[in-house]
Structure 1
Amino acid sequence: MKRILVTGINGQLGQELSAILPSVGEVIGVGRAELDLTETEAICQVINQVKPDIIVNAAAYTAVDKAESEPELAEAINAIAPGTIAAECEKLAIPLIHISTDYVFDGSQSSPYQETDKTNPLSVYGKSKLAGEIAIQNNCKNYIILRTAWVYGVGGKGNFVKTMLRLGKERKEIRVVADQIGSPTCTLDLANTITQLIPLFQPEITGIYNFTNSGVASWYDFAVAIFEEAKLLGWDLQLERVIPITTPEYPTPACRPAYSVLACGKISTVLGTFPPHWRQGLRKMLTELFKTTL
């Protein structure tokens, strides 16, 4: 049975992986308490102590707006650490699965981004994640970089779905941006994909892949769907209306891509199946979350 080292085990994706990955191997999970990703020596030490057969790097600095004022920290966790992990993987001749983001693109396209399309991140966060991708490619031969988008799940401290539900209990009206388009992605579906990739890992499938749930939505569409599904489950909400607004009406420190839909044909060919629709993922997540709040 493979020994799988998972970083970021306490995050929303990490928690999902800790539940699913035991079906394909022994999981050794490390969080911030066990591994400081800003310490190069600590990274090398943990990897050499665990002696894994594969590493899944699910850890990241994901505070997109905060990164604008903490560029060094974002760079350390999202760029330098993945390069260090990749170099250790190369020394030990083991593969690496690394999670990246749609924010490596600038959103100027109007058709789904292919893995080969030109990157041009707009934010400190996006730039740090792209630097991490490059560091992995420069340090390691056997890797899968999995670009995903708009991730949410039952675990972790907070995400768009949890924020909307909290606001829906407190307010009658919520204003949500309607001119940023992407694909909401449930951690359960993302974790299932990573779990499927591990037994399939061969040098021939090394490279960059996109994975999101199928379908597209604006943040406004996503919010409306969250409330529709939550009400069907019997969630107690005060909300009466979701109001669509433009990006300039909700200014943020970080600039976000207006269109960041990712084409998932390449990963679907490897897995032999297309990703579930985002609305299905949302329904599964809310059903699970509802159980934990009863």
Structure 2
Amino acid sequence: MAQALRRRAPAGVQLTALGREEADLMNPAACARLVERSDTDAVILAAAWTAVDRAETEPDAARIVNGEAPAAIARAAAARGLPLVHLSTDYVFPGTGGGPWRPQDPVAPLNAYGRSKRLGEEGVLAAGGRAVILRTSWVFSAQGTNFVKTMLRLGRERESLRVVADQQGGPTPADAIAEACLEIAAALREGADGGIHHLSGAPDTTWAGFAEAIMAEAGLRTRIEPIATADYPTPARRPLDSRLDCTSLAEAFGIRRPDWRAALREVLAELR
């Protein structure tokens, strides 16, 4: 996400991206001190523990990184009157709804990762500062490890792939998230209200549908075999319905859902 933020930062905006060496989220107090001593105008907290399955065996580490660190950073930002944008996840929901999840819907995480992210949300809200929590889902880009890059690698190696078809959501390009974070931070500086909002790509699909689009766009003939979640057990339970209602984000900030299909073409072109 740091690379996406750098790429999308408007002209005239100086972006300082701190890595783990400078801002280790396993040390919340040290991260808070960085905010206290910084001359920044806004804080975007995009880093997180994202190893969903590993969080099941290392819940304490996930809780510190995703829960305690955001709370400490939010308190430091609030004390200085700094706007804060905090990225969260669809995994705070149980995934059993009959429609896209709204920001105000009750949360009920299914796994340790989701619980750690919800703890972070609670800490940010409790800090009382000018903050927006931006929940997103199914993030992909040309950088890092993500579903698109995994499918491309496997698609070049195999004739067929079994992919879950009963989980639905919106694939979201990292560049779109970065743009949203920067726009929200600027709006908060100008006095916009904080709160919880959602951003996911459109149209909604399934993992199998996403995989089919990746193969088609990449020119790979790999066959996608749809399977049920029960046929692909993982240490952490996944929500079946990760669709997000993004209406409030459009109303508050004029930010609309990005078309993930167009973004996919851009990512594949970059990877080539």
Which residue of the partner structure matches residue 23 of structure 1? 11
Question: Per-residue displacement from partner, 1:196-254 (whole Å, max 9, x unpaired)?
Answer: 222221444210000111211100000000011111xxxxx4x4311001101100000
Q: How far apart in 2 are the matches of 1:276 and 1:204?
A: 22
Q: Is the 8 A contact 1:181 1:259 kept in 2?
A: yes
Q: 2:35 is aligned with what amino acid?
A: I
Q: How far apart in 2 are the matches of 1:186 and 1:96?
A: 21
Shift of 1:86: 0.4
Q: Is the 8 A contact 2:36 2:77 kept in 1?
A: no
Q: How far apart in 2 are the matches of 1:165 and 1:141?
A: 42
Q: How far apart in 1 are the matches of 2:199 and 2:176?
A: 9
Q: 1:138-157 alignment to 2 at 5 Å?
A: 138-156=126-144
Q: How far apart in 2 are the matches of 1:224 and 1:184?
A: 13
Which residue of the partner structure matches residue 239 of structure 2? 257
Q: Is the 8 A contact 1:112 1:260 kept in 2?
A: yes
TM-score, with normalisation over the residues of structure 1?
Answer: 0.89
Q: Is the 8 A contact 1:86 1:136 kept in 2?
A: yes
Matched, 1:285 2:262: no
Which residue of the partner structure matches residue 54 of structure 1? 42
2:173 to 186, 207, 212: 186
- Give SS of 2:218's match: helix
Q: How far apart in 1 are the matches of 2:12 and 2:33?
A: 25
Matched, 1:176 2:167: no
Give 5+ residue unaligned stretches, structure 1.
1-12, 232-236
Shift of 1:276: 2.2
- Give SS of 1:28's match: coil
Larger mean CA deviation between 269-278 and 81-90 belongs to 269-278
Give 5+ residue unaligned stretches, structure 2.
none
Provide closer, same or farther for how the CA distance between residues 39 and 170 of structure 1 changes in structure 2, counting only shifts above 3 A.
same
Q: 1:271 is aligned with what amino acid?
A: F
Q: How far apart in 2 are the matches of 1:187 and 1:137?
A: 24
Matched, 1:79 2:67: yes
Q: How far apart in 1 are the matches of 2:149 and 2:4?
A: 16
Q: 1:1-294 alignment to 2 at 5 Å?
A: 13-23=1-11, 25-156=13-144, 158-201=145-188, 202-231=190-219, 237=220, 239-290=221-272
Q: Is the 8 A contact 2:82 2:129 kept in 1?
A: no
Q: Is the 8 A contact 1:174 1:242 kept in 2?
A: yes
Q: How far apart in 2 are the matches of 1:160 and 1:174?
A: 13
The CA RMSD over aligned residues, in Å, is 1.4
Q: How far apart in 1 are the matches of 2:253 and 2:34?
A: 31
Number of residue pairs aligned between Structure 1 and Structure 2: 271
- Give SS of 1:99's match: strand
